[in-house]
Structure 1
């Protein structure tokens, strides 16, 4: 497929996710609202990464230990996500490239290959969280031991294959249905927990303690790592191109507007779910003195005596399983985009899924066998902190590309957006540096 080579080393590259590229028609003669409906979908696939099992571990730990204080971090990281995901849609629509292809076409190999390896590491860390989260969900609902559950999770590759054969809209419909079920589960649990809504509102205000308390900073950084996901930046820049929008400047600008609205609305929904997890932990555990909850199964076990009903833990387990299934689909797509974009290596999504899943199963199984199932929650939080350290290597190129008029043409990012996203990048880098200093020097 040909695109302008201005600012890029080559004008010739394969379409992103070629099997579903431009497969969703946009009714050009229809009203703006009907055209927007055709754009709804990619944002919700992106939103999945903002409420995957890794978020559960960090939000549960943060809410149980520090009450509602870290709600501000959830809000801040969600605003960061909205800004960065808008850049992903801009890059895709303006250049016809996903972020992986853009890195390959803009940087020499000695830069792009390390970026590829870091992106793969981020996807493995993401998959590790999904392996643990889904297997815990299976354990909570059906009593399946974790060490068996993590092998059962490999079967989700066949779910992905079936959905992809049905068409990309089927994938989006499945994901949105699961998201609706997750939201309903948490709505019931929050109603049962009856939180202090005044404290909830105050929790969205910033606190100096977040930066000065090393333990709070560690969990805060985990929340940012679990919320702003490196693989989501690659994912969004690829799946936006499933829409068959027009190629003239006016139609591209309209497509960018609708794609941005799609992701922004979906991420507001994700914030509600993430905040619900933290609020549930604060209202149920922190208020009763159970401040050391870092394990998802611990939280599940305590919900029945604290909320006084057997339905709460069942809904908790069901929501967790739905999150794991959803995250499975999007992580597979991200892996495909990264591998094909950086090194032009095409393998089937199922084979890709099984390879990534096997790599993630090994550390999860090792932790369970050596230290026991009770340590899986700490591994989840660690995986999210690892993701946070990967973030700058995806964000910095994204901001660079979208700020370049030679690469983006008329759809170059406005200066205020570039500045805001540069501040986001510097904030994450600064938080990472501060955490590293704390870990090394202990102060």
Structure 2
């Protein structure tokens, strides 16, 4: 296939979701200032960070349905406007309760974006291209953290945390119109796509859809034990993942008091995460192995979290924080190839929605319990032990699920290879 769609769709989607991920990164950088200004403890701070994911769950399934039955392009455009307004509104709050409401609304608006983009990519990229398209798009997660951590630190040298939230809430409002102007729902709508490329792409997509298997719906997914295994695994991983992501800037803040320095130091682990995420996904594809490339990084991340509680040197702590970042980010590529290998084809679409919707509640669980443990013990040790335990349990669950892959049929193996 030609390169036109890769140059148009992926970069615009990459920047769009990078802006969405800012709202999960900036709160960690700003949290020490929010705590001081609003006079709240670590447990309340965990609530503020995590309540986003309660809202995030609500619009996961409706967002995917709207994108599939109406328009992914228009759905994401509307959600970008709503999340930009919610993000900006967070900068005008006066109380802890108001900030929680703004964060909850932000989560609701952003919750529908992930499934809507998956629908859009399925309309544009063939099965053999889709894994690469997803990988390029999801690379925005660590890139966003790499860029926004130092940028937030820079802004904090000149503005308060409220002004920073307002400034960082404006770009989605602008990019929404870029998205709407460039992205189309399907190749037949794209005037910028060369005619020959359009015809070839539509022909291949039509051929794939003709062979498609009808979805059995969400009730079938709810009744499938393997689906719930994936949900539990993802919940445990997201508990460790977001607990780490949202609290690491506060840990780095013990190394320096300068906001810009904290921002640059926070970017180091996420830079390592991008490298680890890319190499692990590539190696997983080369070996055609998914479970080991999910479970082993999670165990490495857990071990480095625990080891970090026994060192006092800032340099060693930074090294271990970076290893942890690699461990919690690296599973992304291989993980999303597992469901297609172990879940019946008619259930897998609903299963992915259920996995992402409920599993992301770990994003509330991790920051919240980390904050509670910080309050009760006065240090970060117990919180990191809790997160490490979640990662270990996620790895064990992955290995259990992996036994299903070894028993899968040749047909499922073909799908796994295509992933």
Give the TM-score of the pair, scaled to structure 2: 0.31
Q: Of the two structures, which has the highest relative contact order with CA contacts closer than 8 Å and spacing of 6 or more?
A: 1
TM-score by length of 1: 0.29
Q: Which structure is higher in helix share?
A: 2
